[in-house]
A and B are shown apart, each in its own frame.
Chain A
Amino acid sequence: MAITKKITPTLAALTASAAAMPGISGFASAASPITEPRISISTSSYQEQAIDGIRTTGTDNADRYDIEVGQFQLVAPMGDNAEIDFRLAKDRMSGASPWFVVEGADGEPVQVMSGATIDDERKDASLEYKHFNDSSAISVILGISSENDYLSHNIGVVVDQELNNNNTTVSVGYSFSDDNITATDSELFFSRPEKENKSVQLLSLNVSHAVNKNLAFQTGLSYEVQKGFLSDPYKLVMVNNIPLADSRPDSRYALIYVANLRQYFPKSTAALKIDYRYYADNWGIDSHTLSLIWHQNLTNNWSVAPMVRYYKQNEADFFANYLVTAENQASIHHSSDYRLSKFDAVSYGLTLTKQIGRMGIELSAEQYESTDSRKPGDSRTSPGLVDFSLVSLSASYEF
């Protein structure tokens, strides 16, 4: 006997409300508190590759940053309607970083690295409290981040509202961060300020919608305002062969648009994630990021997720590897920071996860390569573009 009979309107209505139950739809609602505490720890190793043919000052040490990251996270329910998410992270970084660019013998820009090896440690802690109401949730996030030359306090609020039978979620968020910069060795280097401050405000609106049980779409718009000291105290620019401090405008306004699509394929127990991000700011930078991830479940609770990402950006209006100008004509703002130059980058990675009972183990690797599409004499691209590899291992346990 098969059910081939025509479905009546009454039965259709019953079936629709039955299929909305999460066990049947296979969709656990986004805004529901967790019921069991979960801890996870992870360790990552980030390594930047040395630049070919670089020039360093003082020593021969040309290694760029190596960063070791350790993270701890605890998510726990607080009564029936709330949860907390506590995170701690500690990074240890060492290596040299791009300092300034000089004109090479054949007219090529050549990167000069900071000679001394930089050793620093960043500590980061955040606490999020999320409270769930009927069909909405509110989160408050407090965070602190410190390095030996940097201290940042931040606070954020996010409100989620579910609509349309929980198929649509609208989120509005605001965050504020107050950062203090006290550059090291400011007494030795004229260009380094003793004490500076900057603030970052971010307002964002996101809408996510489950089109059907296998397709979800998310889109969002954010506006970011940065004010204060936005220059890099450790970078210089050669202007008419004189090293001057990195100097950037004291305000930056950015618009960010994101669109994410997630399609689940039940037959092959796989999911495709397509993420797009557009960024534009008043410094003249605009960038596009497109990433594709294929998440494939395998037998025995293994899963594998290959990833590829393409990134492209334009240089900031005031970017220059070095400047040669008529006397007194140097612009107020100038930076040779490779992150403000024009470049493309491709990264690819693989994540492998295995669930063993309540324990989850994840191993992931990513290789990031800035593509050197620079033509000889193209002053818009930096010789200090970075390539890096990232390997991380994490374990989580749900009680």
Chain B
Amino acid sequence: MQIKGNNHAKLCLESRQFNAMGSPCEVQLYLSSADMDIFDILEREIKRLEGKYSRYQETSVVSNINRVAKLGGQLTVDSETAAILQFADHCFQSSSGLFDITTGVLRNAWNFKTGIKPASCKLNKYLSLVGWKKLHWQNSRLSFPEPGMELDFGGIVKEYAVDALVTLCRTAGIESGIIDLGGDIAVLGPHPDGSPWMIGIRHPRKNNQPILKIPVKQGCIATSGDYERYFEKEGQRYCHLLNPLTGQPAMELQSVSVIANLCVIAGMASTTSMLMGESLAKEWLDSLNLPYCLINKSGLLTSTG
């Protein structure tokens, strides 16, 4: 038997692909042959988080919360969910209210399948149900004073899953590899020869084509773009990233990728930047000292770091 992490002699690059959280996922790790069961452990953790935080699963914690939210009322959540809410609260504070997990209810106003802009009265009706500050939250007690609100962990959980997989890999002594859950990416460490991984930033207008490849030795990268769900009307693109203050889609940027130590940070920063618009986003990302790659409305790329 061999102790993990103490032997670099026979490391091979192994990979596994699977679908989770509505996205194609790929994990590539440098392993000794005996460590292959790490992939099962990682997949189990993603499925656990998916089962717990998916809006589409009736039995999920989120569905449970939203059943209470719909009618108004209160409930106690488990400690993991409480920690995620605590993080969501910090995201709300540091994004001047732009990163708000109560925004999801606006999906009832915007229908990206039919491609019709909502009437302002309809939009205002749902906008009145948006606002993290409207709900009361302390420790693990969550209360919705008014009925009709919704929580959506979609902007946090996939990134959280990336970070959780990183923790599991590190615990197993794995030092080199890359985790990609539908474009939310973590680099555990460089290739065993010390060279960086080349991470492609997707071209916002050309599906499956990188616009840029950046070398990363360690860290996480998350991208938000206007290309995932959208419709176009009179030359204007309306995407699924909705501003919780105005109810309007992000208009000024095609995509923003942010690099950070944790994927949840990179994810919240890229989403918030999309909603801020070009000049505010640059200023804000610079103030946070986070490296980024931003593509504006005209397709012009700005990259720092």
Contacts and interface: CB of A to CB of B under 8 A. Distances in A.
Real complex partners, A and B? yes
Interface of A: 1-3, 5-8, 10-11, 13-15, 17-26, 28-29, 31-33, 80-81, 133-135, 166, 266-269, 296-302
Q: Which 10 A-B pairs have the closest CB atoms?
A: A23-B164, A299-B34, A29-B79, A17-B90, A5-B289, A21-B83, A134-B139, A24-B163, A32-B79, A26-B167
Best-buried of B32, B78, B215, B305 by chain A (most CB within 10 Å)? B78
A15 B171 CA distance: 20
Contact of B76 (A6, A25, A81): A81
Contact of B289 (A11, A19, A22, A296): A11
Contacts of A17: 83, 86-87, 89-90
Interface string B30-50: 001011010000000100010
B74 to A, nearest CB: 11
B86 A20 contact: yes
A11 B217 CA distance: 21
Contacts of B80: 21-23, 28-29, 32
Given A1-B259, A8-B288, A299-B2, A22 B34 contact: no
Contacts of A300: 1, 34, 37
Contacts of A80: 76, 78
B84 A21 contact: yes
Interface residues of B, number: 58
A21 to B, nearest CB: 4
Contacts of B270: none
Interface string B1-26: 11111100000000000000000000
11 contacts: A1-B196, A1-B216, A11-B260, A17-B87, A21-B160, A80-B78, A267-B5, A268-B3, A268-B6, A268-B173, A269-B173
Contact of A166 (B6, B79, B287, B288): B79
Interface string B201-228: 0000000000000111111000000000
Interface stretch (B111-119, B261-269, B273-281): B261-269
Given A8-B289, A22-B80, A23-B163, 17 more contacts: A1-B216, A1-B291, A1-B305, A3-B261, A3-B305, A6-B289, A13-B90, A18-B90, A19-B262, A23-B49, A23-B164, A29-B79, A29-B80, A135-B140, A297-B172, A298-B3, A302-B1
A6 B290 CA distance: 9
Nearest to B79: A29
A266 B305 CA distance: 30
B91 interface: yes
B170 interface: yes
A127 to B, nearest CB: 24
Interface in B86-101: 86-87, 89-91, 94
A269 B139 contact: no
B133 interface: no
A8 B265 CA distance: 13
A306 to B, nearest CB: 14
B292 to A, nearest CB: 10
A279 B56 CA distance: 56
Nearest to A19: B262
B69 interface: no
B122 interface: no
A3 B189 CA distance: 12
B141 interface: yes
B181 interface: no
B161 interface: yes
A14 B90 contact: yes
A266 B170 contact: yes
Contact of A2 (B6, B168, B216): B216
Given A24-B163, A299-B35, A11 B290 contact: yes
A135 B37 contact: no
Contacts of B259: 1, 3
